[in-house]
Amino acid sequence: MDDVPFFDIQLPYELAINIFQYLDRKDLGRCAQVSKTWKVIAEDEVLWYRLCQEEGHLPESSISDYSCWKLILQECRAKEHMLRTNWKNRKGAVSDLEHVPDADLCDVHSHDGVVIAGYTSGDVRVWDTRTWDHIAPFLDSEDSEDEPGAQPCISFVRINSSLAVAACEDGFLNIWDLRIGKYPVHRFEHDARIQAVALSQEGATVATASAFDVVMLHPNEEGYWQVAAEFEVQKLVDHLEIVPDTERYPVAVATARDLFYVLKADDSARTRPVVFAQPVTCLDVSASQAAFGVKSLGWVHEGSKILVYGLEAERYVSKLGNALGDFTCVNLRDSPPNLLVSGNMDRRVRIHDLRTNKIALSFSAHQLGVSAVQMDDWKIVSGGEEGLVCVWDYRMNQKLWEVHSRHPVRHISFNSHSLITANVPYRRLVRSADLDDFTTHRRHWGLIRAYEFAVDRLAFQSALPICRSSWDTTAGHNYDLALSFPYDST
């Protein structure tokens, strides 16, 4: 057998590549030590490019973009290890996004590091934390120049990779294309107040709920926005989400008290709800399922539960949990396969196993109840009504670190290298002479924080946010302090 180099003579190179493609990186390293011929095969760029794609590194790249994919994979894995270490040790840069003066924070949303916020003054601002350019532009409505200072309060804001959406208290909905400019590309008016807004994660579908109507908006082939579908529901909508990966025929999921709707744009005549005995308290959707918490009706009944509904099968597939408190938040879209994380008013964060319909892990997290939660393959970030943000390593059942602010946590969004949190006030205050003082007002306005854990490319910005101003800037970043010697990045 040693005298017959079958990979050199009898087996073509293409077939050898097909055999080696079933090996992982450790096996390829062992095969590279067998012989020179095997080393050439084991280091083929096609094999290492495939490994990079399978592990999720540089998914948008082609094989011709780099000359050595083995080295690229090593660099990506080293960066991944560095980011995970920084997450665990809370090592990185943090910044408080600048607030609109004389206004309280109403709603916050983010997508891939781009943050949108709406205020009681009617202002809508957008930050791109990926570039650490915190000079946030204002998104103007069409009548902002005609009626300065008379803008209605913002109820909801949503953002994705290309669109920004804001709903006002007077029933108007503004849609901006972030690639075009700060003026809306479409403005839609409802006759009543908007109760819920949803924006597709990727694509250009917007859904709104006002009174007993749910409207789905979508641009046509010429780029003009139009009503793609309109539905009539029986009760006021509490929660509204758009199902991912259904851009050809958009599908929305809505809950109205004890009613659950699956609204399909290609079948607008079908609005038959699924009826529950208990009101729905929270909602999240994935491409194939919808998860929502249902409220308990008293001690004589069962406790609160989370129901998982199969969108394709159109039936229940799981019934999870049995808690005394109400479920306030659930995260299905970002959770690992077959897992789901939820937050409850009983102070606990729970991980549910969809395969066994059992609770895989439960731990006490927040004293006043959990208000926001998200998880990935190794960590959970949770927010509480008391204003605490906690990061957990759920494999070790251990809290890594926490940070506190004054107001309840209403928004949490993270990826491998960044974290966005928003503390939104319980109630909006009317401006008065007592709140004219800056330090007094900042206790009521709300807070948006951006954490960046990729310190290898932000080492030059490791100074505090107040020390990041240029020489021509006299006002500091926080608390209106003036810098005698502003930070010089050069």
pLDDT of the chain, 490 residues: tens digit per residue: 344 355 555 677 888 888 899 999 899 999 999 888 888 889 999 999 999 998 888 888 888 888 899 999 999 999 999 999 999 999 988 888 878 877 889 999 999 989 999 998 899 999 988 876 556 678 887 655 545 456 789 999 999 999 999 999 999 999 999 888 788 999 999 999 999 999 998 889 999 999 999 999 999 888 899 999 999 999 999 999 999 987 678 999 999 999 999 999 887 667 778 887 789 999 999 999 999 999 876 655 578 999 999 998 888 899 998 888 999 999 999 999 999 999 999 999 999 999 999 999 999 999 999 999 999 999 999 999 999 999 999 999 999 999 998 899 999 999 989 999 999 998 665 455 454 554 555 666 889 999 999 865 443 344 444 444 444 444 434 333 333 344 444 4
Three-class SS state of 455: coil
Distance CA 399, CA 287 (A): 31
CB 159 within 8 A of CB 146: no
Contacts 24+ apart (CB under 8 A), 290-295: 290/241, 290/243, 290/253, 290/260, 290/262, 290/332, 291/330, 291/332, 291/340, 292/239, 292/255, 292/260, 292/330, 293/326, 293/327, 293/328, 293/330, 293/342, 294/327, 295/326
List, in sequence order, the alpha helices (H) in 399-456: 438-441
* Burial of 470 from C-beta contacts in 10 A (0-12 / 13-18 / 19+): exposed
CB 157 within 8 A of CB 117: yes
* 191 CB-near residues (< 8 Å, 6+ apart): 171, 210, 211
Q: Furthest-apart CA pair in the chain: how many Å?
A: 94
Ramachandran category for residue 36: left, alpha or beta (phi over 0 → left; psi -120 to 50 → alpha):
alpha
CA distances (Å), origin 285, targets 207, 237, 301, 307, 383: 14, 16, 27, 12, 20
CB 246 within 8 A of CB 204: no
DSSP 267: G
Q: For residue 440, what pLDDT is reported?
A: 52
Distance CA 448, CA 348 (A): 24
Sheet hosting strand 93-96, strand order edge to edge: 93-96, 447-452, 418-423, 409-414
DSSP 183: S
Sheet hosting strand 274-275, strand order edge to edge: 239-242, 251-256, 259-264, 274-275
CB 353 within 8 A of CB 321: no
Q: What single-letter amino acid sits at 450?
A: A
Helix, strand, coil percentages, rounded to 5, for the chain: 15, 40, 50
CB 364 within 8 A of CB 404: no
The domains located in the chain, with CATH, are 13-87 (1.20.1280.50), 277-417 (2.130.10.10), 464-490 (no CATH)
Number of H helices, E strands in the chain: 6, 31
Distance CA 375, CA 142 (A): 39
CA 290, 295, 297, 303 torsion-angle sign:
positive
